Amino acid sequence: MEKQFKTLKEHKAAGSKAEFDKVLMKMMPRLEKYITHRIKVYEAKGWLPKNFYSPADVLADVYVNAYKEFERIKNPKDLKVRLFSWADQIIGDYAAKENKIPKSKKLPVDKLVKEELKFMYEDLTVDADGELLLVHDLKDEDIEYQQDDFKPKVYVFDFDSQNAFAQSLGLTADDFRDEKLRSIFGSIYSQLPETVRRVLDLNALGGLSYGEIAEIVGITPEEVEKIIVAIQDKVKSNR
């Protein structure tokens, strides 16, 4: 990434934004997938209207920010953190514009994390005999969500996303081929509090380290680890 970062400097100095964007895309191939997923999450929660906001537009705005602010970016790690932070901020601004974010979600991050971890360990259960939510490999146009204020009816993950979540949770691709486990994870994921879900998405889909996630979310790396472990425990305890 150091070589690509140097190339970005050259394109910036030459005033070549098109070439600058091409290098960014190669450096951060997971960014667009993360943006696409986060928009779907916001749509599922009713915070954004379905199929109205484009991931490509978010990505373009992120690239504009990167080009404008590049002189202030110190290194590849700093660039990665800023790119994902900008993506979250832009999607959050969309939701604020739609006036869809509940006031309860605007608490200070440290208080949110404390409450959400408490919820994870005390309240979240999966009824394998009854309301088990199935997760299938469907195309985007087949996704159906129940736009409930708290949780969607179904979350759908493509094959690559499944593998990413499996790796983040200490599971294997073979584990996720088991329909029951995939169903359990889909049910748990649909009920995750927003900050907890965001941390998992950044780790699994964004490929970010605990330290990088901590910078983006505004918590400590230790708190990021607690969140990931809490989700791992929840999935394993319901297998």
- 29-85 pLDDT per residue, tens: 999 999 999 998 888 888 899 999 999 999 999 999 999 999 999 999 999 999 999
In the block, residue with structure tokens 């990167």 = 66
pLDDT band at 152 (very low <50, low <70, confident <90, very high): very low
Q: At residue 146, does pLDDT exceed 50?
A: no
- Number of domains, the chain: 2
Residue 47 vs residues 41, 67, 134, 190: alpha-carbon distances, Å: 9, 29, 23, 15
Task: Supply 207's token pair.
Answer: 């490929």
Whether 175 maps to a domain, the answer reads yes
Query: Is the domain of 229 the same as that of 115?
Result: yes
In this prediction, residue 225 carries a pLDDT of: 93
Rounded to 5 degrees, what are φ and ψ at 170?
75, 25
Q: Is the pLDDT of residue 108 over 70?
A: no
Q: Taken in order 65, 87, 1, 224, is the CA torsion positive or negative? A: positive
- Distances in whole angstroms, Cα of residue 231 to Cα of each of 38, 46, 159, 224: 18, 23, 20, 11
- 93 and 131 in a single domain? The answer is no
Please check whether residues 115 and 46 belong to one and the same domain. Answer: no
Comparing CA positions, the residue from 58, 61, 57, 79 lying closest to residue 70 is 79
How far, in Å, CA of 45 to CA of 96, rounded?
13
Domain boundary among 46, 78, 97: 97
Residues 68 and 181 in one domain: no
pLDDT of residue 188: 83
Please check whether residue 172 is in contact with residue 190, taking contact to mean a CB–CB distance below 8 angstroms: no
- Please state the rounded mean pLDDT for residues 7-12: 96
Report yes or no: 58 and 91 within 8 Å, Cβ to Cβ: yes
Domain span at residue 203 reads 107-237
What percentage of the chain carries pLDDT values higher than 90? 45
Residues 26 and 84 in one domain: yes
- For residue 205, the SS3 value is coil
**185, 144 contact by CB (below 8 A):** no
